[in-house]
Chain A
Amino acid sequence: MDVSGRNRIARGARRLGVIALAAAVAPVLAATGAAAGPAWADTKPTLVAGSDLSTSGSLAPVRLPGDKAARTYSPEQVKTFERTGGDPAVLAYWTPERMKAAKPLDVPGDAVWVEKTARAVASKTPTVAAQPVAATITTRVTNYPAPVTNFSITNGKLFIGGYESGSWCSASAINTPSTRVLITAGHCVHSGQGGNWLSNLVFVPRYNAFNADHDPVGRFQAYRLRSFNEWMNNSNRNRDVGWVTTFSGGDWGATVVNTVGGHGLAYNGGTEFDVSIFGYPSNFDGGNKMWACWGVATDSSIWDDRSQIGCNFGGGSSGGPWIWNYNNANGLGWVRSVMSTVDGSGVNRGPYFDTAVLDGTNAANGDW
């Protein structure tokens, strides 16, 4: 315990160095972003790897035990859910299955530093769409303990099959005008080629099963799902990106970005960049609390458009944000990729964010 504590502090100190560096650079980058034009400019897509750049959306399916088919909600019910925070049956599902090991820990999460010897020579600076925005409700979300690093409440656990089910991904809120959009992996909303949309998605910002309160600001039920057709039709991992539009919800009955803030989106940058990754890998604390991993992501291969880093984040980390220029003070940054895969040697990979990802994000913004 003492040893790991010291290690954490050591890692934290290293991290602070990186943050200081990032902080020094940040204003310049922010200025560049502002100069690049309006946040939601509709720029022409650039073709990447000959893939289908379009996305499609769907109502988020809901089906509960005993239901013969997916539930269809009337427009009146949807309006009601917007007021009440969603279908109570979905949000409450599995509630009795509380973790036996529920005990408070000294830090809300833990972190690993990844050393990369092969650092990129030059990384192209990405274009910035969507500036990060802080939550409008700040009564509780700013009350952080003093952790080694800030486990941003803008990130959370994305349950599949209802709250506290045994299936999950990770996700984060991004700042779009609707203030309702989460970004995650494509396979967290649709099972890919020959598959289907996933059911009963519930987003829980900074979920932590070791605390008495597992959902510090409540839960947000999915209203609509969206992914690249290239993912849904061909399981193309270059396009493993998904979006979730959420009902108002949480403890204040507000939209997700108004509750926990939203990250910005960075696209058309290089595949190599300083990254902070957040998620709920099942191989770390059983996926019961948020973990972070940071280091330098490198180019995955000349054969695709992805980035990689050896975080050894296993099942459940999918969809977690790969954040560039993460601000440890306010817990916000620019999402530049999302967790997609893990291999047997612990290397994680994420898709390249290009203009098509911006277009998909804009489309998701229009899903409300």
Chain B
Amino acid sequence: MLMRRSPRLAALLLVGVVFALSACGSATESGSDDDTTATQAPNASSSPGALPVRDDLVNPQVVPWRTWRAADDRTLEVTVTAGPTDCYGAEPEVVESEAAVRIRVRVGLLPQAAGKECPAIALESVVPVRLAAPLGTRMVEHLT
């Protein structure tokens, strides 16, 4: 199935990767999603914050994502364990085919956090992943 890629699909794949990497622009704004973690609401901790999406992370490492949900038809949110969202960011990579959307997430220190101390807590956070085409009925899988 995957082998049978059309040129158009290959272009889609490429766009997908670029999208994921450059989701920076949109995700920095959705960095205002960070505010949900910092609000005074008594139980803010039960809704995870969003990690900033960047392509300039310090020493990014692949971390397994746990769950996913569709935020809208072209945006998935996967959950990963990282540190505080003002110290860590994510770099999602997505490969799309007709049958599946395969996602891998790297987590690393934000450049501005590389020289400072961060609380050594493990926090579940969401990472927004932009798709080139609507998810539809495709499977969401780990990219290995």
Q: List the interface of chain A (C-beta within 8 A of B).
A: 61, 63, 65, 69-70, 97, 160-161, 165-169, 185, 187-188, 191, 194-196, 198-200, 237, 240, 280-283, 286-287, 313-318, 339-344, 348-349
Contacts and interface: CB of A to CB of B under 8 A. Distances in A.
A167 B66 CA distance: 12
Most chain A CB within a 10 A radius of its CB, from B45, B79, B81: B45
Nearest to B64: A286
B120 A339 contact: yes
Nearest to A314: B120
What 5 A-B pairs have minimum CB-CB distances, sorted nearest first? A166-B124, A316-B122, A341-B117, A315-B83, A344-B114
A187 B119 contact: yes
B61 A283 contact: yes
Q: How large is the interface on B (under 10, 10 to 19, 20 to 34, 35 or more residues)?
A: 20 to 34
B144 interface: no
Interface of B: 38, 40-46, 48, 58, 61, 63-64, 66, 79-83, 88, 109, 113-124
B120 A316 contact: yes
Contact of B122 (A63, A169, A199): A169
A199 B48 CA distance: 12
7 contacts: A167-B45, A167-B48, A187-B119, A194-B40, A196-B45, A199-B43, A199-B45
B79 A166 contact: yes
A315 B46 contact: no
Given A166-B123, A341-B117, 9 more contacts: A63-B43, A167-B121, A167-B122, A167-B123, A199-B43, A281-B120, A287-B81, A313-B120, A343-B117
Contacts of A314: 83, 120
Most chain B CB within a 10 A radius of its CB, from A168, A194, A200, A344: A344
Contact of A344 (B80, B82, B115): B115
Given A161-B45, A168-B122, A348-B120, A282 B38 contact: no
Contacts of B61: 283
B121 A316 contact: yes
Contacts of A168: 121-122
Report whether over half of chain A's contact residues are helix, strand or loop; otherwise say mixed. Answer: loop
Contacts of A343: 115-118
A166 B117 contact: no
Report whether over half of chain B's contact residues are helix, strand or loop; otherwise say mixed. Answer: mixed
Given A194-B38, A344-B109, A166 B122 contact: yes
A203 to B, nearest CB: 15
Given A97-B66, A166-B81, A167-B81, A61 B42 contact: yes
A179 to B, nearest CB: 26
A315 B121 contact: yes
B46 A63 contact: yes
Contacts of B48: 166-167
Contacts of B43: 61, 63, 69-70, 196, 199
Nearest to B114: A344
Contacts of B66: 97, 166
A315 B120 contact: yes
A287 B109 CA distance: 18
B117 A237 contact: yes
A168 B120 CA distance: 10
A341 B119 contact: yes
A318 B119 contact: yes
Nearest to B44: A196
Nearest to B122: A316
Nearest to A99: B64
Most chain A CB within a 10 A radius of its CB, from B43, B80, B124: B43
